[in-house]
Amino acid sequence: MSSTFDRFQENLSSIKSPFEIISLLIKKIEENNSKCHIILNKSIKPLHFINNYIKVKEIDYDLILKEKKIWSEKYFSNKFNLEPSKTKYKYTIVNYISVGNKFKGLIYISYNKKYSYEILLNQLNFEISNLIEKENLRKKINAKNNLLKNKTLEIESLFDITEMLNSDENLKPLFDKILYFLISLFNASKGIIFLRDANSKNFNVQSSFNYDLNKINSRIIRDTRGVHKELKESFKSRIINNPKKYPLLEEGKLNCISGPIISNKKLDGSIFLFDKESRKGLTTFNNYDLKLFDSIIKKISLTYNNLFLVHSLKDSKKMIDSIMSSISTGIIKINMLGEIEYINESASSIFKVDSKSIINNHYAILFHNNQEILDILERAENSSHIFYEENLKINTNENNIGAVNLTISPVFDDGINSGMVVTLEDLSNINKVKSTFKKYVSESIVDELLLNEDSLELGGVQKDVCVLFADIRGFTSMSENLEPEKVVSLLNNYFQKMINVVFKNNGTLDKIIGDELMVLYGVPISYENDNQNAVNTAIEMFKELKVFNEKIKDEGLPEISIGIGINFGKVISGNIGSDQQMNYTVIGDNVNIAARLCSVAKPGEIIISDSVYNKLNTSSGFNLNKPLNLKGKSKPIKNWLMKVS
């Protein structure tokens, strides 16, 4: 026997699978016409598949424990509903299987022939216990593994929510995502997010999932009562075990987990998740859920706060950008490193550059064609003073030439120099306007017009205007004896002198009609002394003419004689003409009177109407002239005459 048993033991040690060992052990026991039953708890699954070798039945622990005695084979068969053995056995032996002090089953052997089963039985028990232990260990590892998976899911979810919260999204899609995320993470059945409306201060539903909003939508939700009042007072996430007591949370069946969205120490919203799911059905949220939920809610609050700051910053930036792009002054912000941080549309337009290509580049790139600006900037970098340069010529990126008034100011943040701001007043358009206007009006009028656009009235309006006509006497006969080039040259030189006088006295050159000048005072800008200016113009014209005549006399040219007529009164001023040609001028009876007075004035005479005379500060030199009967006038016109020597 011992040698057979030894061989059997050798066989066993060569077999690695515990199942095969168990099977062999059972076979060995049953070799001696014995019967081996192994009764195990049905939950011990790994032994199920060797059903062919051993009996695995449901086990009643209590029964076994209570009746821990040696049963007869019949009693045993009845107890465990086994098919009664046809063989009558004389003896029975029971071996209890326990793992870690816990009873797991028993091995029951019925036999007739005495045999030493002890070693086999102990070996079988050891193998089965070992297997059960391994199975328990496997279950524990699986459970831990599942727990680990859930923890991984939670950690991944925290990463996800961080990413989600940092995304540049609008509130609605962001909070929809947040709610979906929370529902999924906490196995919740439903959920809802409220946010406070900035204007009404009431709370509105921002997002919901599986939630019947019919009752909620008609409610005014404030933090003065109900669940929001409690959240406002506690500022804490909490589990609400009887959600139905709050009208807003009536949808909850078991319990609800709630959290406040806090921004600037104020309750700005709330999040509620309802009825946690488990494999067995609905369950309640626990303290572990609350801890995780609270940490996420705090993150959401922080993000909500940041989101508001970002939105307000964006709004501010948008507003500043709008202001900056609407102003005509070019603005460039340069940082301490000399890099361009900001350039507005006007500055881009002045230098004809694309702002995007200039941002973050050194200013030397923008001003590479403008050494003078570079020099000033270098000086400004080493100074804390404001630099100003007027009418500075600049070269644009497209090699055009322009002019600007340049100001460079240092910028200080909390007393620390943070760079410079360059402002550029584009003079190109102003200069164009000036050069065009200067042909018609004096520079002082142009400047005033540019400074004060309201003073310019280009529509058809009735105004008090002083009109001066100056005509060359005997020009036709004079020009007949001269070559045409000389006539033109003579006239141009004469007009140049006369117009200078006009502008000097704030007159506006209305037009040159042949050899006649028509000058206005009081349009487009009226001054208090328009009449005096007109008379002064007339007197100075004669003075200039005297000098002019002396000059041309030396050149062998004939002297020029002029007569001047001036009238003051209401005229209609405006842009008069057709679509093709339109001129700003004045029309009316008083214009005609001025022309008539001029036509009757003899060479060296200034004739002014009574209306002009009455407005003069200095009227010396004028004598009352005999009334003149002018064409188109029923009554003679009172007038005053000055004879200029």
State which amino acid sits at residue 416. I
According to CB under 8 A, which one of 149, 225, 253, 291 is a site residue for other proteins? 149
Output 209 or 521, the one with its CB closest to other proteins. Answer: 209
Rounded Cα gap, residues 424 and 455, in angstroms: 26
SS3 content of the chain, % helix, strand, coil (to 5): 45, 30, 30
Contact 331, 347 (CB under 8 A): yes
Tokens 């005229």 -> residue: 571
Contact 227, 258 (CB under 8 A): yes
Residue 241 Cβ vs other proteins, minimum distance, rounded to whole Å: 21
Residue 188 Cβ vs other proteins, minimum distance, rounded to whole Å: 8
The CA-to-CA distance between both ends of the chain, in Å, stands at: 168
Q: List the interface residues with other proteins, window 281-340 (CB under 8 A).
A: 281
Size of interface with other proteins, in residues (CB under 8 A) = 20
Of 8-16, 125-133, 151-159, 293-301, the segment contacting other proteins by CB under 8 A is: 151-159
Output 212 or 390, the one with its CB closest to other proteins. Answer: 212
CB count within 10 Å of CB 426 equals 19
State which amino acid sits at residue 288. Y
According to CB under 8 A, which one of 26, 161, 183, 562 is a site residue for other proteins? 183
Residue 187 Cβ vs other proteins, minimum distance, rounded to whole Å: 4
Task: By CB under 8 A, tell whether 619 contacts other proteins.
Answer: no
Output 185 or 307, the one with its CB closest to other proteins. Answer: 185
Output 280 or 626, the one with its CB closest to other proteins. Answer: 280
Q: List the interface residues with other proteins, window 204-223 (CB under 8 A).
A: 209-210
Quick one: 545 exposed, middle or buried, by C-beta within 10 A (0-12, 13-18, 19+)?
buried
Of 165-173, 181-189, 596-604, 605-613, the segment contacting other proteins by CB under 8 A is: 181-189
Task: By CB under 8 A, tell whether 184 contacts other proteins.
Answer: yes
CA distances from 386 to 211, 380, 409 (A): 64, 7, 5
Of 2-10, 185-193, 304-312, 456-464, the segment contacting other proteins by CB under 8 A is: 185-193
Q: Is 516 helix (H, G, I), strand (E, B) or coil?
A: strand
Of 150-158, 257-265, 411-419, 632-640, the segment contacting other proteins by CB under 8 A is: 150-158
Task: By CB under 8 A, tell whether 342 contacts other proteins.
Answer: no
Contact 267, 235 (CB under 8 A): yes
Largest CA distance in the chain: 174
According to CB under 8 A, which one of 67, 156, 354, 390 is a site residue for other proteins? 156
CA distances from 630 to 499, 509, 610, 626, 634 (A): 28, 25, 14, 12, 8
Contact 328, 426 (CB under 8 A): yes
Task: By CB under 8 A, tell whether 567 contacts other proteins.
Answer: no
Of 67-75, 146-154, 359-367, 443-451, the segment contacting other proteins by CB under 8 A is: 146-154
Q: Which of 188, 35, 24 is nearest to 115 (CA)?
A: 35
Contact 428, 402 (CB under 8 A): yes
According to CB under 8 A, which one of 152, 200, 295, 444 is a site residue for other proteins? 152
**DSSP state letter for 90:** S
**DSSP state letter for 563:** E
Of 39-47, 178-186, 511-519, 534-542, the segment contacting other proteins by CB under 8 A is: 178-186
Contact 238, 217 (CB under 8 A): no
Q: Which two tokens stand for residue 445?
A: 């009028």
Output 156 or 197, the one with its CB closest to other proteins. Answer: 156
Bridge partners for 608 per DSSP: 566, 640
Contact 334, 418 (CB under 8 A): no
Q: Is 400 helix (H, G, I), strand (E, B) or coil?
A: coil
Of 184-192, 316-324, 457-465, 549-557, the segment contacting other proteins by CB under 8 A is: 184-192
Of 145-153, 261-269, 353-361, 363-371, the segment contacting other proteins by CB under 8 A is: 145-153
Output 153 or 433, the one with its CB closest to other proteins. Answer: 153
Output 15 or 153, the one with its CB closest to other proteins. Answer: 153
Mark out the alpha helices in 415-520 (DSSP H runs).
428-437, 443-451, 475-480, 484-504
Task: By CB under 8 A, tell whether 189 contacts other proteins.
Answer: yes
CA distances from 565 to 175, 297, 501, 537, 608 (A): 83, 90, 16, 12, 6
Q: Which of 638, 641, 589 is nearest to 610 (CA)?
A: 638
Output 150 or 316, the one with its CB closest to other proteins. Answer: 150
Radius of gyration of the chain (CA): 55
According to CB under 8 A, which one of 160, 230, 464, 540 is a site residue for other proteins? 160
Residue 279 Cβ vs other proteins, minimum distance, rounded to whole Å: 6
Residue 211 Cβ vs other proteins, minimum distance, rounded to whole Å: 11
Output 185 or 499, the one with its CB closest to other proteins. Answer: 185
Q: Which two tokens stand for residue 476?
A: 């036709």
Output 105 or 191, the one with its CB closest to other proteins. Answer: 191
Of 98-106, 176-184, 502-510, 570-578, the segment contacting other proteins by CB under 8 A is: 176-184
Task: By CB under 8 A, tell whether 250 contacts other proteins.
Answer: no
Output 153 or 337, the one with its CB closest to other proteins. Answer: 153
Of 136-144, 186-194, 292-300, 505-513, the segment contacting other proteins by CB under 8 A is: 186-194
Q: Which of 256, 259, 250 is nearest to 215 (CA)?
A: 250
Residue 148 Cβ vs other proteins, minimum distance, rounded to whole Å: 10
Task: By CB under 8 A, tell whether 181 contacts other proteins.
Answer: yes
Contact track, other proteins, 67-86, x by CB under 8 A? --------------------
Rounded Cα gap, residues 340 and 419, in angstroms: 10
Q: Which two tokens stand for residue 80?
A: 């465990």
Of 152-160, 492-500, 535-543, 599-607, the segment contacting other proteins by CB under 8 A is: 152-160
Quick one: 529 exposed, middle or buried, by C-beta within 10 A (0-12, 13-18, 19+)?
middle
Output 188 or 466, the one with its CB closest to other proteins. Answer: 188
Residue 216 Cβ vs other proteins, minimum distance, rounded to whole Å: 18
Task: By CB under 8 A, tell whether 278 contacts other proteins.
Answer: yes
Q: List the interface residues with other proteins, window 457-486 (CB under 8 A).
A: none
Contact 8, 28 (CB under 8 A): yes
Q: Which of 410, 438, 437 is nearest to 500 (CA)?
A: 438
Task: By CB under 8 A, tell whether 98 contacts other proteins.
Answer: no
Site residues for other proteins per CB under 8 A: 149-150, 152-153, 156, 160, 180-181, 183-185, 187-189, 209-210, 277-279, 281
